[in-house]
Amino acid sequence: MEEKKFLLISMDDEKAKALADVLGSKTCKKIIDLLAETKDASEKDIAETLTAPINTIEYNLNKLLNAGIIEKAKAHFWSTKGKKIVLYKLSNKSIIISSKPMSKVSLKLKAILPTIIISAIGTFLVKFYVSSKDYSSNITKSAINIEEVTSSLAQAPIESVQGNLFFTSVSPAWTWFLIGALFALIVYSILNWRKL
């Protein structure tokens, strides 16, 4: 099984606290620097190089292991007394810290996404239906009324003509459907933002 090359940590995760603790410790930083220079080292080698007590090194190595900064090397050796000596090395992983509030926002947007898609599909279907519908009866009715409209426009003042032109221009039905769907989506999002 292939090993992950990154360490994903959430701000609310215990590993984030361990990582902050490690980065704030001078001894941990010295151990990281030492392991960066050497390929791997045992607990005793680290204690001798840093001239620190072995129990301090052991404590800080455990903190580094818990944070995922270092790992136990596969190679090990045996002491003269027959004890297994563990070697430590830096883990070759990138650390990614994600904030929790951002993931909540993305979850809320994911909850709304199906509604947006359904609105877009509905708008397309309404546009297709309206464009495929036969408007021949409407065209003949409008042709009959053209003479009445032109005669009334010629006799009316300019202000009333502008008003009549505004009301005679008809927007396609699909734009009204889209506007209504977006309005409903916005109202739904505002009312249910905390529940999402």
pLDDT at 55: 92
Per domain, the residue ranges of the chain are 6-98, 100-191
pLDDT 10s digits, 71-110: 888 877 787 888 888 888 888 777 767 665 445 666 666 6
Q: How far apart are CA 64 and CA 15, in angstroms?
A: 10
Cβ count within 10 A of residue 88: 23
Task: Output 42 or 154, whichever has higher pLDDT.
Answer: 42
Question: Tokens 């005669």 map to which residue?
Answer: 151
Task: Output 193 or 145, whichever has higher pLDDT.
Answer: 193
What's the whole-number average pLDDT of the chain? Answer: 74
- Can you name the CATH fold of 6-98? Arc Repressor Mutant, subunit A (1.10.10)
Band (pLDDT 50/70/90 cuts) for residue 190 is confident
Looking at the predicted structure, is the pLDDT value of residue 118 above 70? yes
pLDDT at 22: 84
User: In sequence order, what DSSP letters do the residues of 90-121 get, joined into one string?
Assistant: E---EEEEE-HHHHHHHHHHHHHHHHHHHHHH
Q: Count Cα atoms within 13 angstroms, Cβ side, for 97.
A: 12
pLDDT at 165: 47
Question: Tokens 């215990």 map to which residue?
Answer: 14
119, 181 contact by CB (below 8 A): yes
pLDDT at 168: 45
Task: Output 70 or 138, whichever has higher pLDDT.
Answer: 70
